[in-house]
Amino acid sequence: MRRHSFVSLIALLVAVSATCLSCNGSGRQRSLLPDDDPNWYRSAVFYELFPRSFRDSDGDGIGDLAGIREKLSYLDDLGISAVWLNPIYPTPFFDSGYDVAGYREINPEYGTMEDFDNLLESAHRAGIRVILDLVFNHTSDEHPWFVESRSSLDNPKRDWYQWADPPFDYECFNPMNFQFGLERWTLDPVTGQHYFHHFRPQMPDLNFYNPEMREALLDVVRFWLYKGVDGFRLDVGHMYFEGTEGCEHLPETHDFHRELRTLVDLFPSRAMVGEISGPPPDVLSYLGNGTNELHMVFNFPLVTMIYPSIWTGDRWCLEIGLDRSHFSKPPGGQMANILGNHDFFRPDGLLFGDSGRIKLAATLLMTLPGTPFVYYGEEVGMANGTATVVDYRDAARTPMQWDGSPGGGFTEGTPWIPLSPNWETHNVAVEEGDPASILSHYRKLIQLRKQSEALQSDHASFIDPGSRSVLALVRGEGESAIVVLTNLKKSMVEGIFDLSEVPWPEGEICNLLGEDGSSVILNDETRGHYPYSLKPHGTMVLAPCP
């Protein structure tokens, strides 16, 4: 009898270990995604999505997790390999969810933890990875940690936030953050002390000098990693530590990023991208030595140069942007390219609703070196909204435009914020069937990027196209290199460029974009002065014909 229970125990242990193995040793559910692909984020096309505005599945006017799940096949068709969800946690919504009131819970307006698990599982089944926003610089003042911390001077969590009496040793006012108010210290009547906040008074900053608090944050990271999320976007990752030594980019903040990376690397195939503001060298410094801090940082140094290049039709700004980002990063580090996000005005507004320019911006996003992040709705040319619920940034947070119905296909109820003014003309239903639409352009470019190892590669070098309005980049190396020629101007341009540096064999050259190709055969004579002609805002992606 005893022997029998011993055998059962062994059988049980074997079954449990087998189950664990099928979870990849990290608790992750089985999926179609390979688990041994640590570099997946380099070839991925990401999609940033504001959950409140993507798809409302229950008609209350607020987007939710079940709604996102309904739209996975749309994302899959578009060619998206990973989504970044803006905060999905409980929040009093003073900062649109970036005031988090519980790091391990789901905002009940968006659903339940079960809804999240279902979304994650379905996304993985569809081959789409999911990364979450980690907002670690601050919490909401309704977060239980702050509720405890403020309750008394001797509460065990008192030191998890920054409490002081005037005069304060540091102020840390940054004029860029004017929308959060002018004061950085707020008096709390409960104990008569002030607490520090980089952002709104409802968003107290955590005290990163407290090791117990840091450990609690690492536990949050473990919680989501064990759940199987594929990584994180780190909110204001340069602001964690502040004090008399400075307000941003402190060495201790880098130490914490290294600790985070060590933890995340224990789990296979996960990646982090940081929102880091500041001068380009500071932004790049969060890539560490290329392998020991963040996997990617958002390419703010480049995006601020993309628009001026498009406005002026001159590649100069773009070259500077690339020099300060991609060409200056440590080997192994990766730039995350964007045209916009939930904090900026939409490309449609910045490019005056000009669809040629909007498509050109998309072409650059998909052909420049770095991992592209599409912000939801960019792919149909959504306009800025005109209503404000929280602050001016709501312009870029209006409901996704699925069709021309009154709720835009986003909701059957009343949307929490009105749709943007162009929803009837710029939506998925209208654009899907139109080969000349912005959506079709995105689809084509994303497919091209996903099929081209050269475009996914880190390699890029300039060639001189003889005209300042053309950006000519060699992407990839050797015979499989491709040449991307982009006309930044709204008029036709013709020129001659030198292909001597590109080791292509003699023969016919094709345009992989399938538009007008080139009828000139590459040979010893043409190699040094190969003619091209580009339509207004047009692009050719050249490679030897197969």
- The residues assigned a catalytic role are 235, 275
| Minimum CB distance to ligand GLC, residue 500 (Å) | 45
The secondary structure of 154-207, three-state, reads CCCCHHHECEECCCCCCCCCCHHHHHHCCCCEEEECCCCEEEECCCCCCCCEEC
Closest separation in Å from C-beta 342 to ligand GLC: 6
| Three-class SS of 117-139 | HHHHHHHHHCCCEEEEEECCCEC
Closest-CA residue to 82 (of 52, 114, 39, 136): 39
Q: How far is the CB of 202 from ligand GLC (least distance, A)?
A: 11
Q: In the bound complex, which residue of the shown chain has the CB atom lying closest to ligand GLC?
A: 98
Alpha-carbon gap, residue 163 to 396, rounded angstroms: 35
- The tokens for 352 are 């005056």
The DSSP line for 347-391 is HHHHTTT-HHHHHHHHHHHHHSSSEEEEETTGGGTPPPP---SSS
User: What's the min distance (Å) between Cβ of 228 and ligand GLC?
Assistant: 25
Tell me the Ramachandran region of residue 149: left when phi exceeds 0, alpha when psi lies from -120 to 50, beta otherwise: alpha
Report the relative pairing of strands 271-274 and 296-298 from DSSP bridges. Answer: parallel
Least distance CB 140 / ligand GLC (angstroms): 10
DSSP string, 3-63: HHHHHHHHHHHHHHHHHHHHTTTTTPPP-SS-SS-TTHHHH--EEEE-GGGT--SSSSSS-
497 near 463, Cβ under 8 Å?
yes
In whole angstroms, give the CA distance from residue 407 to residue 51.
16
Instruction: Give min distance, CB of 53 to ligand GLC, in A.
Output: 14
Nearer to ligand GLC, 110 or 442 (CB): 110
User: Distance from first CA to last CA of the chain, Å, rounded?
Assistant: 71
229/222 Cα distance (integer angstroms): 10
Contact residues: ligand GLC, CB under 6 A: 95, 98, 135, 199, 235-236, 275, 342-343
The span from the CA of 401 to the CA of 426, in Å, is 7
Q: CB-wise, 275 or 431, nearer to ligand GLC?
A: 275
Distance CA 297, CA 303 (A): 12
Cα Rg of the chain, angstroms? 25
* Residue whose CB is less far from ligand GLC, 1 or 176: 176
Determine contact, residues 44/139, Cβ cutoff 8 Å.
Answer: no
Shorter beta-carbon distance to ligand GLC: residue 397 or 441 = 397
Dist CA 91 CA 86 (whole Å): 12
- Asked whether the beta carbons of 42 and 371 are under 8 A apart, the reply is yes
CA 274 from chain centre, in angstroms, equals: 9
Token reading at 282: 């500071």
